[in-house]
Amino acid sequence: MKDATSNTADGVTYRKGDDWAERIASFIADTMGLPRAKVELASGGHGAETDLGIISRKVISNEGSLVHGNELLAEIGVFGVSTHDRAEYTIEAVRAALESVSPPTGFESMTAFEIFSGYLVLDALIGNTDRHQENWAVISHEGSRRLSPTLDHASSLGFQLNEAQRAERLSSADGDRSPQGYADRAKSRFEGNPSPLVAASQALGSVRTTVRQH
């Protein structure tokens, strides 16, 4: 289980929406036909001590292990990617890192990178700004590697806004304060911080180039 988190604005502490954002993102991914971690809303404790959050089904078996994106990138010589420096964290670097990785089980008609491109389309739809190098992975098991289902989508859907902020953005006549203006300012974690929409477009463009070459 992962607890929902809180934030403080103007001296008032409120619960953020990272739990419902995770649940909605999982539903949208499922509707898109993407492999995803199965997420449900959950609570623990009693009365005033009740903790709200989500519970997620494991994406690996007891014998398998997750190899995160930063480890895969290091294997192809991209060592410098960190929280403070993502100069080499590019769509093409991810594509190269997934070159020898199989797609998730049940998606054998596509490549791992094609499925990953679908994850970026999901990010564009929900405004997920947290697809950093440790927020995607492959599953290693008995010498084989498969792309992991998409997971950890809490940083999306305006989860950090409080109720008053969401209501104000839905009713504001100021274009910069509208939901579209809010979405337009979203930045991904890739080199140069393109928007999630631009990152998805770059990935899909790379997929189309590969299809034409073959």
- Here the CATH number for the domain that contains residue 199 is 1.10.1070.20
Q: Provide the whole-model pTM.
A: 0.90
91 or 172: which leads in pLDDT: 91
* 167 conformational bin, left if phi > 0, alpha if psi -120 to 50, beta if neither: alpha
Q: Is residue 79 part of a domain?
A: yes
Q: What are the tens digits of pLDDT across the range 159-212?
A: 999 988 888 988 888 888 888 888 889 999 999 999 999 999 999 999 977 655
What pLDDT, on the 0 to 100 scale, is given for residue 46? 58
CA atoms 157, 163, 167, 168: torsion sign: negative
Q: Is residue 19 part of a domain?
A: no
**Helix/strand/coil for 16:** coil
pLDDT-derived band at 83 (thresholds 50, 70, 90) equals: low
Provide the residue range defining the domain that includes 74.
Answer: 62-213
pLDDT-derived band at 40 (thresholds 50, 70, 90) equals: very high
DSSP states along 39-94? EEEEEES-GGG-EEEEEE--SS-TT-EEEEHHHHHHHTT-----SS--TT--HHHH
Q: Is residue 53 part of a domain?
A: no
Number of domains in the chain: 1
Q: Are 115 and 32 in contact (CB under 8 A)?
A: no
Q: Is residue 196 part of a domain?
A: yes
- Main-chain dihedrals φ then ψ at residue 209, nearest 5 degrees: -60, -40
Q: Is residue 71 part of a domain?
A: yes
- CA 179 to CA 126: how far, in whole Å? 12
Q: Are 81 and 132 in contact (CB under 8 A)?
A: no
What pLDDT, on the 0 to 100 scale, is given for residue 175? 84
Give Cα 8 distance to the centre of its chain.
Answer: 24
What pLDDT, on the 0 to 100 scale, is given for residue 51? 80
Q: Is residue 75 part of a domain?
A: yes
Q: Is residue 55 part of a domain?
A: no
Averaged pLDDT of the chain:
90
What pLDDT, on the 0 to 100 scale, is given for residue 20? 95
What pLDDT, on the 0 to 100 scale, is given for residue 131? 94
Q: Is residue 10 part of a domain?
A: no
Question: For residue 214, is pLDDT > 60?
Answer: no
Q: Are 52 and 40 in contact (CB under 8 A)?
A: no
What pLDDT, on the 0 to 100 scale, is given for residue 212? 56
Mean pLDDT of the 31-58 span = 84
What pLDDT, on the 0 to 100 scale, is given for residue 101? 97
Length of the chain: 214
Question: For residue 213, is pLDDT > 80?
Answer: no
What percent of the chain has pLDDT above 90? 64
Question: Which segment, 3-17, 111-125, 130-144, 182-196, is predicted with the most confidence on average?
Answer: 111-125
- CA 99 to CA 75: how far, in whole Å? 12
**Helix/strand/coil for 143:** coil
What pLDDT, on the 0 to 100 scale, is given for residue 180? 87
